[in-house]
Amino acid sequence: MTKSEYKKITDNSQFINAVGNGELNTNVKESMENNLKSALIGGGVGVLIAIATRRNLILYGIGGLIVGRFLLNIK
């Protein structure tokens, strides 16, 4: 068995255990909260950059939301 096959099997077994234990709801909720927090932080940074450079607030705010959502990962 290769390392990638072993990793897939362990990931699948952890997912099955989470569903069986009823922990899937809490995992999804925590993930969404973390994504929301990181997006808001990114949006805030984008707005601050827009204020500092005197550019379009909405454009930089939305860009910050997107960048924060993908780059920041609060755990």
pLDDT digits (tens, 9 = 90+) for 24-71: 677 778 888 888 888 888 899 999 999 999 988 899 999 989 888 888
Q: How much is the pLDDT for 74?
A: 61
Q: What is the 3-state secondary structure (H, E, C) of 9-65?
A: HHHHHHHHHHHHHCCHHHHHHHHHHHHHHHHHHHHHHHHHHHHHHCCCHHHHHHHHH
Quote the pTM value. Answer: 0.62
Could you give the angle at which helices 3-21 and 24-53 cross, rounded to 10 degrees?
A: 110
Q: How much is the pLDDT for 53?
A: 92
Please state the rounded mean pLDDT for residues 6-22.
84
Please state the rounded mean pLDDT for residues 8-24.
82
Sign, Cα dihedral of 61, 44, 31, 6: positive
